[in-house]
Structure 1
Amino acid sequence: MGLRCSHGAFDASYSAFNRFRKFVLTSIGGSYPPHELEDLDSDRWYWDTDRPFNSETHKGLKEFLCHSDCDDEISPEMCKVVADDLEAILPYIETLEEKEKASGQLLARGGYVQVTKDFIAGCREAHRKNEPLEFL
């Protein structure tokens, strides 16, 4: 059993989606569970508000990182915001992938950069069609 998002945004295991989100947040200096530091709450993700990308200025990244990964959807309007924010950090994802290569299902789908581009494309298509991006 795995996670499939509509509009071709994502199709792999739940654990692969978790690794994907962890990688995205790590690329901009954040920490997504499971954390390397044991004193961080395993039910929360951390994002340095002093950095140029934070949950107040980038609502799309917050939506992507906090969104339930099952049986839910992202509105067409928010899909555009998510796509814009992910596109803005793509250079950070590319830089980190040069150091940390994807494995397993994420590698089979082209690596972190390609998976990010696919998620962006799925969000853009959902927005263009005025349809929610569904997590199935």
Structure 2
Amino acid sequence: MKMKFRRILASTVALGVGLAAMAQEEAFKRAGRLPDVEYIYMSKDILSKVGGSLPVSGMDEVASQLTSMEVLKTSSRESAVKAFDILESSREGMELLTHMSENDGTVDIYGVRNSDKLSELMVLVMNDSILSAVMMKGNIDPETIKGISPESGKD
């Protein structure tokens, strides 16, 4: 009986994790359909081909650790607010790793830890009129993320 309970519990947990991952991907896609929103999805295959040509210094090493990346950017305040609300479900189960605030906006970085690596990393940048969001999935070394040059990717 104990063994049967463990199997049921393991199946339930696995299903829940799978549904949460689908909900995150679905949230980015739904937000990408809003007016004044640009959305890009990149698979591992594409990331391996474009990693060295990404416009952010140090991002090529991170790209090699990813299984997928989604990028979303709004161009109006209305779309930013709507997209932010949709992406709220993407943050469920994620730990807030960093919060930075300046006069004109905020940067929040969320992650899902998998021992000493991150299996998911989401960056939300919001100011008065726009929202930029990036969701990365893979086996991400936090030390590699620290190597990304902030000067090269201000956008």
Instruction: Decide: shared fold, TM above 0.5.
Output: no
- Which structure has the highest strand share of the two? 2
Computing the radius of gyration over CA atoms, which structure comes out larger, 1 or 2?
Answer: 2
The normalised TM-score by structure 2 is: 0.27
- Which structure has the highest helix share of the two? 1
